[in-house]
Amino acid sequence: MDVTTGFFYLFSVVLLYAAFRVVTAPNPVHAVLHLMLAFSQAAGIWLLLKAEFLAIVLVMVYLGAVMVLFLFVVMMLDIRIDQLRKSFWKNFPLAAVIFAIVAFEMGVVLIGGFSAIDAPKAIPAVVDAAGNVVPYSNVKALGTMLYTEYLFPVQVAAVILLVAMIAAIALTLRQRKDSKAIDASLQVRVRASDRLQLVKVEASKPAAPVVQPAAEVEEKKV
């Protein structure tokens, strides 16, 4: 077994463990952290497949932005973990059946679908219309394909992400009874007369005479 195969099995084992903990972790924050671990292992597998651009995008976009934002949203939401634990074992048989079906389909595709296909080979250079040799760039080819042939799916994905972001903000900005907040505009418009007011109060009865102790009186006479 060479080094590439060893890293592939290592990334795969950690990826399967992280994916399993995403759906079985009782704490939602722990589930999000395991999801970030799963994305990092998937990026490692893409590096082994010589898809460096996709691996970097996965790390920068999902780990650097989406998952961090999702983690903050989960931490701000008022999620009752005790109710989630009760519903987990209730829906576990259905989830196990769906997992078995998906695993069987993926196994059939991976074993029988790609057996007759050769491994892709990198293209070192291409020749343009003028006959000049131009270095091949998979990033340029991917960008050209995304914004020409797949422009509509890219726009649909952008709209879906925008709706998801607005929904997350709407869920986290609800009013809570136990939260304490101060309006900044009221603090700016405050005046000293609004905070302190002196009131003269008439005495209802005369003050009692002050009786000094006998020891103090003798000291004054001396």
98 and 142 assigned to the same domain: no
Question: Same domain, yes or no, for 2 and 110?
Answer: yes
Identify whether 202 is part of a domain: no
CA distance 168 to 71: 11
Q: Could you read off the pLDDT of 44-74 as tens digits, one per residue?
A: 998 888 888 888 888 888 877 777 767 776 7
Residue 207's pLDDT band, with cuts at 50, 70 and 90, is low
Domain annotation covers residue 196: no
pLDDT over 80 (residue 14): yes
221 in a structural domain: no
Same domain, 4 and 56: yes
Which pLDDT band holds residue 169 (cuts at 50, 70, 90)? confident
28 and 112 assigned to the same domain: yes
% of the chain residues with pLDDT over 90: 6
Report pLDDT for 72. Answer: 72
| Same domain, yes or no: 18 and 105 | yes
Domain total for the chain? 2
In tens, the pLDDT along 112-150 reads 665 555 655 655 566 666 767 666 677 777 788 888 888
Q: Give CB contacts under 8 A, 24+ apart, made by 19-25.
A: 23/95, 24/88
- Same domain, yes or no: 45 and 85: yes
Among 121, 153, 185, the domain-final residue is: 121
Does residue 64 belong to any structural domain of this protein?
yes
pLDDT exceeds cutoff 60 at 43: yes
For residues 45 and 141, membership in a common domain is answered with no
Q: What does pLDDT average to over the chain?
A: 76
One domain, residues 20 and 105: yes
What pLDDT, on the 0 to 100 scale, is given for residue 15? Answer: 92
Question: Same structural domain for residues 114 and 7?
Answer: yes
* 90 and 153 together in one domain: no
Residue 11: what pLDDT? 92
Domain boundary pick from 86, 121, 156: 121
pTM, whole model, 2 decimals? Answer: 0.52
Residues 134 and 115 occupy one common structural domain: no
7 and 73, same structural domain? yes
User: What's residue 81's pLDDT?
Assistant: 62
Structural domain range at position 21: 1-121
